[in-house]
Amino acid sequence: MRTAYSVETVRHAEAQLMARLPEGALMQRAAAGLAAACAGLLGRVYGARVVLLVGSGDNGGDALYAGARLARRGAGVVAVPLARDRVHEGGLAALLAAGGRVADDPFEVLASADLVLDGITGIGGRGGLRQDAVPVARAARGSDAVIVAVDLPSGVEADTGQVRGEVLRADATVTFGTYKPGLLIDPAKEYAGTVRLVGIGLEEHLPSVPALEALQHADVARMLPVPAAESDKYRRGVVGVVAGSARYPGAAVLCVAGALRGGAGAVRYVGPAADAVIARFPECLVHAGPPGKAGRVQAWAVGPGLGDDAGVVEEVLASDVPVLIDADGLRLLDAAAVRDRAAPTLLTPHAGEAAALLGVGREEVEASRLDSVRELAARFGATVLLKGSTTLVAAPDAESSPVRVNPMGSSWLATAGSGDVLSGLAGSLLAAGLGARDAGSAAAYLHGLAARHAAAHGTPITALEVAEALPAAWRDVSAA
């Protein structure tokens, strides 16, 4: 599990750690890790041309001390202080003592740099880059240099992943002590490049519940259901799929395709697209009547391609088993019925659907994914999986359940019907006994990994191919 902590928590942990260390020791640890990472990127340090963009805080201090280390190894290091009267003094003295210098003309040195260290702002930055930093940042980006962000790309919001103005896009980010949410969530994540975490001893001072967590193979492997020796299809769980309509029969087929690969012992399809489902998947049980008459299930997935049948959504919500609501189901649901449920509910909106549920514009959700998913989970008293370039899963008990961010995506997933596969898959995991947060985040992970398999040759993929690649994803994860 990778974890991210808020700025407030990081500062608190830093204060505790600093109280036990000699003055400046923490910054030296950060600078040492940063210099080592830069050396790795440069290959050959001796003779390399390194430019430091130095803001007025400790982020600039890190850059200066790292620059001093590179200068001692023979790099030509030049500092560009953004506010001449407010530069980390110790850092500047160290750089000058190591043979570095301050630039006369920032644009001239940037034009021929091999590597630029962005130490303009870290966790102390607010809003996008200030106007005076913008021309220098643009010149850096316009050069051929590798850009390495110190702790965070300057200009992003560390706690939320929002971008409120100009940001200096990095090729790599070296972050200290812990990931920050902004390094894992779009749009900020897009500016970070490859992220490397450098330990500075902060770990033991961080609380057990982070702000954000990202699953890895082994975490997902622990969640995946494996049938016991005496298991049967009912004990493994039956998932009911309520999807598709005369107009959208394909959504039913895709949702069932995901559900069949999600670990439930049986998939029961309920709705008007039974013929299309059976033609493709003879192993699926089908029922044309209402969900309540379809037979027992351990979880429902309702909504993809449903059209306007609000009655079935109401009926499923009235059941006492876990329910996943997607697509049309999100439009048709009664919010009070969701809030009143005793069994878990998992909502899986994309940004447009989330915006409609919140009564805001789609852009607002895309710009502030973390706040949006938290707000939805709180409002509906449900677990919410917000889909898109960064998929987030938030549970209603925010204090004890950090938001999960899915690290395993592929932009090839932006193809019609792939969301239907995801909801079937997550519904199947719910039926197999996973909690809503685990079912949603494990499903997003497998779905993203399956998409990477399907798109391995760099070609466009279809939603059905994503479903067909789920066993390969499951295998990868289980092998971990």
Ligand X SMILES: NC(=O)C1=CN([C@@H]2O[C@H](COP(=O)(O)OP(=O)(O)OC[C@H]3O[C@@H](n4cnc5c(N)ncnc54)[C@H](O)[C@@H]3O)[C@@H](O)[C@H]2O)[C@@H](O)CC1
Ligand Y SMILES: Nc1ncnc2c1ncn2[C@@H]1O[C@H](COP(=O)(O)OP(=O)(O)O)[C@@H](O)[C@H]1O
Residue of 2, 69, 205, 350 that binds ligand Y (CB under 6 A): 350
C-beta of residue 152 within 8 angstroms of C-beta of residue 34: no
- Asked if residues 13 and 206 have their Cβ atoms less than 8 Å apart, the reply is yes
User: Does the annotation flag 406 for ligand binding?
Assistant: no
124 marked as binding residue: yes
d(CA 444, CA 425): 9
Listed ranges 22-30, 35-43, 67-75, 447-455: which one lies at the site for ligand X (CB under 6 A): 22-30
| Residue number, 216 or 389, with CB nearest to ligand Y | 389
Residue 10: partners with Cβ closer than 8 Å, 6 or more residues away: 123, 177, 178, 180, 202, 206
* Residue 319 structure tokens: 């059941």
User: Which residue, 400 or 411, is less far from ligand Y as judged by CB?
Assistant: 411
Q: What is the footprint of K ion within residues 96-125 (CB under 5 A)?
A: 118
Name the residue nearer to ligand Y (CB basis): 61 or 417: 417
The annotation status of 171 as a binding-site residue, yes or no, is no
Which of 69, 130, 374, 437 touches ligand X by CB under 6 A? 130
- Is the sign of the CA dihedral 55, 59, 61, 67 positive or negative? negative
- Any known ligand binding at 278? no
Minimum CB–partner distance for residue 191 and ligand X (Å): 14
Among residues 37, 45, 50, 62, the one that binds ligand X under rule CB under 6 A: 62
Q: Return the exposure string of 356-378: e unless at least 16 CB atoms fall within 10 Å of the residue's CB, then b.
A: ebbeeeeeebbbbbbbbbbbbbe
CA angle 39, 41, 46 (to 5 degrees): 40
Minimum CB distance to ligand Y, residue 387 (Å)? 3
- In the bound state with ligand Y, the residue whose beta carbon lies nearer, of 375 and 420, is 420
Assign 212 to helix, strand or coil: strand
Q: How is residue 362 written in tokens?
A: 């789609």
Residues in contact with 370: Cβ distance below 8 Å, sequence separation at least 6, in sequence order: 160, 161, 181, 185, 212, 392, 403
CA distances for 337 relative to 58, 314, 346, angstroms: 51, 8, 13
422 binds, among K ion, ligand X, ligand Y, none (CB under 5 to 8 A by kind): ligand Y
Q: Is 159 in the site for ligand X (CB under 6 A)?
A: no
For 2-45, where are the alpha helices, taking DSSP H only?
Answer: 7-18, 25-42
Least distance (Å) between residue 113 CB and ligand X: 20
189 binds ligand Y (CB under 6 A): no
Say how many residues touch ligand Y, by CB under 6 A.
18
Closest approach of ligand Y to the CB of residue 132, in Å:
34
Stretch that binds K ion, among 145-153, 306-314, 331-339, 361-369 (CB under 5 A): 145-153
440 binds ligand X (CB under 6 A): no
Indicate which of ligand Y, K ion, ligand X, none lies near residue 118 (CB less than 5 to 8 Å, by partner kind).
Answer: K ion
Is residue 425 a contact point for ligand X (CB under 6 A)?
no
For position 121 contacting ligand X by CB under 6 A, the verdict is yes
- Find the helix packing angle between 249-260 and 418-431, rounded to 10°: 50
Compare residues 67 and 303 and give the one whose CB is closer to ligand X. 67
Comparing every residue's Cβ against ligand Y, the nearest one is 419
Q: Does 151 sit near ligand X (CB under 6 A)?
A: yes
- For 27, 130, 154, 262, 290, the CA distances from 151, given in Å and listed in that order, are 12, 18, 9, 38, 55
How many Å apart are CA 464 and CA 98, to the nearest integer?
59
425, containing H or E segment = helix 418-431
Asked if 5 interacts with ligand X (CB under 6 A), we say no
Give whichever of 210 and 427 is closer to ligand X, judged by the CB atom.
210
The footprint of ligand Y on residues 71-100 (CB under 6 A) is: none
Residues 92/94/100/105 CA torsion (nearest 10 deg): 0
Binding track over 372-401 against ligand Y, x by CB under 6 A: ---------------xxx-x----------
CA distance 223 to 1: 13
**Among 17, 422, 439, 477, contact with ligand Y (rule: CB under 6 A):** 422
- Using CB under 6 A as the binding rule, whether residue 94 contacts ligand X is answered as no
Q: What is d(CA 447, CA 466) in angstroms, rounded to the nearest whole number? A: 7
Angle of CA points 282, 286, 287, to nearest 5°? 165
Min CB(391)–ligand Y separation in Å: 5
Nearest-angstrom CA–CA distance, 274 and 346: 25
Binding site for ligand Y (CB under 6 A): 327, 350, 387-389, 391, 409-411, 413-414, 416-420, 422, 447
Which positions lie near K ion, rule CB under 5 A?
118, 149-150, 154
Q: From the annotation, which residues make up the binding site for K(+)?
A: 59, 118, 154
- Give binding residues for AMP as ranges: 387-391, 419
